[in-house]
Amino acid sequence: MFTLSARQDQIMALVRVAGRVSVDALAEKFAVSPQTIRKDLNELCEARLLSRVHGGAMLASGTENMAYAARRALAADEKKRIAAAAARLVPDGSSLFINIGTTTEEFARAITGRRGLLVITNNLHVVSILLPSPEIEVVVAGGLVRRADGGIVGEATMDMVSQFKVDLAVIGASAIDEDGTLLDFDYREVRVTQRIIANARKVILVVDALKFARSAPVRIAHVAQLAAVVTDARPPDRFAQACAEAGVELVVAAGQGPRGAASEDEAMGNEPPLAENETHLR
């Protein structure tokens, strides 16, 4: 499994802010040789986290998603904060879908101690995470299992999802357009997610801020179809405006900085206490 070094993790943080980085600037910042930085960038590119450009690298994008192990390693701490914030939107006794994704897997870890939940999922990793929880009933949506990431897709999966009408769906996405469009790479996975959205009363999107700098070719849905978006940093203004216009709760589970003001009316109808550095916007 590919694991980011501390310097590579910092490089990825810089790229998320700037969109691209140069070898010379990184060598100066970290007080190492350009050859050392090139090695770091080559490894990040091999993991499909970055793409090489003349003199440096930029965020990877395109028609194919990055490897599962690399996705798990990327923004790991941010995903934990997102998951914890999203879990506070889900009351005990709820029924919910959880779809494919490394952030939704972190969400599953965040709810393992909850009571009276019914979870329907097309993610084998979510099944493994929730299996030891005696107060959570798990239903697996059957179909074709993708060996690359344990996701389950196909017509049988869609048919299984259609048998339910649940309180909540917690979904991820591979990329987010500033106009509010949710995007992914596999049209088969997208069709299942669309069916999940159609059969949930409320939908929560869990997504790290890196997704706002990526692109993917297949449209899942629009932010106006959601009840809440949980992320780790303030999203682009255009996306935040789309959320505001649609009345979608925007939850920012930031790692640093002052705690923001919280909305009095929680998106899911319950009123859990806010965590430190968690901001709710409408």
- In tens, the pLDDT along 183-203 reads 999 999 999 999 999 999 999
Which residue type occupies 46?
Answer: E
> What per-residue confidence (pLDDT) applies to 67?
64
24 vs 32: CA distance, rounded Å:
10
169 vs 187: CA distance, rounded Å:
19
> What per-residue confidence (pLDDT) applies to 50?
85
- Please provide the average confidence, as pLDDT, over all residues in the chain: 87
Helix or strand (DSSP H, E) at 183: strand 181-184
Q: What is the end-to-end Cα distance of the chain in Å, rounded?
A: 39
In contact, 234 and 243? CB cutoff 8 Å: no
Which residue type occupies 209?
Answer: A
Judge whether residue 52 has pLDDT over 60.
yes
> What per-residue confidence (pLDDT) applies to 210?
83
6-60 is classed in which CATH architecture? Answer: Orthogonal Bundle (1.10)
pLDDT, mean of residues 219-241: 96
What is the fold, at CATH topology level, of the domain defined by 71-281? Rossmann fold (3.40.50)
Residue with tokens 């910092």: 10
For 43, 66, 150, 157, the CA distances from 190, given in Å and listed in that order, are 29, 16, 15, 12
**Coil/strand/helix, residue 194:** helix
Specify the range with the lowest mean pLDDT, choosing from 4-8, 203-207, 221-225. Answer: 4-8
* Of 206 and 274, the one with more pLDDT: 206
Per-residue pLDDT reduced to its tens digit, 63-111: 455 566 666 666 788 999 999 999 999 999 999 999 999 999 999 999 9
Please give the model's pTM, rounded to 2 decimal places.
Answer: 0.75
